[in-house]
Structure 1
């Protein structure tokens, strides 16, 4: 620990007896000393460092790089403001909470006006590359001439979303303003030899259900879809199939997805669409369950490094994982729910009864910060503030983050260790950047009371490989994976 930046603490330590110093040293083991700059969402002048671990290579590769949408590693990189990102986070999680409680996606949406309308759709979900179409080969730039037509594959940057079931990308024709600007080339069905619209009345079209189907297009037998996320975003178009290529060894033939001709809202600046990995029918997981064992994993990286998305078993050694039971909601099978049992701060377990977490917590790739039942959050906040008294007084809140500090006076910060303990004993031991976001405690209280539904945000998931093993009914965690 470096204490030269805190002379008052230094004065206190040198005046203690030897016996007291031993006890205090033990207490300091429950803190982490980090540079203040490392606690910013995206550090000034940050550059992409790539993968921080050696990724598997060879013929059996089943992973693709995954990045934060607003970091220097993203091909759709854009600047973002934490305040706007947190507003979008509130809209997204409120929509999911309504679906879990039986409400419609759009019921009771907050009214967004003026300045807030510009930030309400700052999507903080992870992004990954995928390739659609083509007539052979694995390169996203391969082109072949067949039957006097030029067929090509198109490489797309898409949002990885574990809380939706209908994959989609923007397709030609896609006029503005119905379609948003994207960095990658638009998918053109006319340039793919493997494209096919899904007929009305087919099992695949029927599988959309009344909530996602919009009937048939006039004068044709093509299945139409509509998807309202309930957070101000929506997409509509034709339900189709084509070949999806994620890596040299992952090619999903007959992949069903939405060919979007109209979009409302922004899905991670300049991305092409959404790669849905929810637990319901129609998702990429459901379509590849027989091939890849009904499982996938990902590692959420820091903004300045690469993570990964993998289909099937884990990228890491399975013995390195700790796991917790997966709870499925029969009325909303899309969502992956786990149960917290305890929280520790600076080595001490909070006095929060396990029944407080009875509502479960949604593991979500797109939620930003972890939301806890109010009494659990109050206990965490009190313990954290007590451990951070050297950095007071509190600064102004940032959106719904109410425990913030002005750390510009300190080159280094001693952050208390925080761990999330799940049913079955699986534990997320959080690193400093997973505890604090731009000087604020990166947790908030969920709406509702005792036993309310919570969320495990992607800030807290950082650097862990999270394994959604739906086939065995568990969620696993492996630390230091990216």
Structure 2
């Protein structure tokens, strides 16, 4: 399943499919499950949905979730028992049984909503496991990498762990609460360093959450690929990186949303400037080069994997998180980053 800290609803693709994407494994069929239970339209669970509905003929609760990239899922809202690798079973998890699913879900069985809202998986299991979990996303180029892995075995698989245990080597920063948006995990990014020097133009004021309006701030989101920073901060970071990487040959024109790319074709060893993210409370994430300079074609073009945004909220995406054990300590209201955590 896809892991998404930027949303709450858990859902699976369900047969019969009206509109479904290609899935690598069998599609879940609720008609063959003895533990599946439909949620009534009048049930409190149904009223928790942001975009809920009702099939009046069946008195069955309906759900729909639309994501920022245009992906969408819709179907019946129900409860089901989930069984994870290792044998752990969680009964009566509220989830969507998606009969209409379109978007960039990359052959996954569904999505595990890991946000802070009342319907997210961590919130639903909090009485048993507490409000803490952690994950480690492996390098996207790993042969056994799976961004949809929930507890896969193998040293090169992405993993997620629920419960209070956290990485001993993690450095923590406080969670920031947005009173107007309960789902997201906000943190306070106070600066970024390139080549060991703080970038003056990455201003804390441009990245701070305004609690009165709910705008601004920085969230940690496993469901977004590329880190996006408020435009002034991104421009300053990009310019600092270009200056520090002056010895590399720029590739004209950029690529997709990236405006800073390099032609590294034919080069076996490349020295690049270091990049580190600094958070309130002294936490730091020193990014390995593969987390910010990524290949975009087979000809040796690599792009600086950050982008600007004018959308209000800045996002730390999963490319920058890969290889870290990222700890969401809901009980302690903090987020931690442990390098080489997979």
TM-score, length-scaled by structure 2 = 0.87
Residues 220-269 of structure 1: per-residue CA shift (max 9 Å, x gap): 22222222225322222111111101233521101111111222x22422
Q: Which runs of 5+ in 2 are unaligned?
A: 143-155, 209-215, 296-301
- Correspondences of 1:446-457 after superposition (within 5 Å): 446-447=309-310, 452-457=312-317
Give, in whole Å, the separation in 2 of the partners of 1:245 and 1:315: 22
Give, in whole Å, the separation in 2 of the partners of 1:172 and 1:382: 50
Contact 2:250 2:260 survives alignment (8 Å): no
Residues 397-421 of structure 1: per-residue CA shift (max 9 Å, x gap): 0112111111003221101111000
Q: Which structure has more strand as a fraction of its residues?
A: 2
Mean CA deviation greater in 377-386 or 290-299: 377-386
- Correspondences of 1:175-254 after superposition (within 5 Å): 175=18, 178-208=19-49, 211-215=50-54, 217-254=55-92
SS in 2 for 1:224: strand
Q: Which structure has more helix as a fraction of its residues?
A: 1
Mean CA deviation greater in 415-424 or 367-376: 367-376
Give, in whole Å, the separation in 2 of the partners of 1:307 and 1:233: 23
Which residue pairs with 1:425 in the alignment?
Answer: 282
CA spacing shift, 1:254–1:443, aligned 2, 3 Å: same
Structure whose CA Rg is larger: 1
Residues 22-46 of structure 1: per-residue CA shift (max 9 Å, x gap): xxxxxxxxxxxxxxxxxxxxxxxxx
Structure 1 runs of 4+ with >3 Å offset:
none
Which residue pairs with 1:283 in the alignment?
Answer: 120
Which residue pairs with 1:389 in the alignment?
Answer: 246
- Say yes or no: does 1:344 pair with 2:193: yes
Give, in whole Å, the separation in 2 of the partners of 1:384 and 1:181: 39
Contact 1:237 1:261 survives alignment (8 Å): yes
Which residue pairs with 1:311 in the alignment?
Answer: 162
Contact 1:372 1:446 survives alignment (8 Å): yes
- Correspondences of 1:81-480 after superposition (within 5 Å): 158-175=1-18, 178-208=19-49, 211-215=50-54, 217-263=55-101, 265-303=102-140, 304=142, 305-314=156-165, 316-317=167-168, 320-352=169-201, 353-358=203-208, 359-438=216-295, 439-447=302-310, 452-480=312-340
SS in 2 for 1:460: helix
Q: Which runs of 5+ in 1 are unaligned?
A: 1-157
* Count of equivalent residues: 314
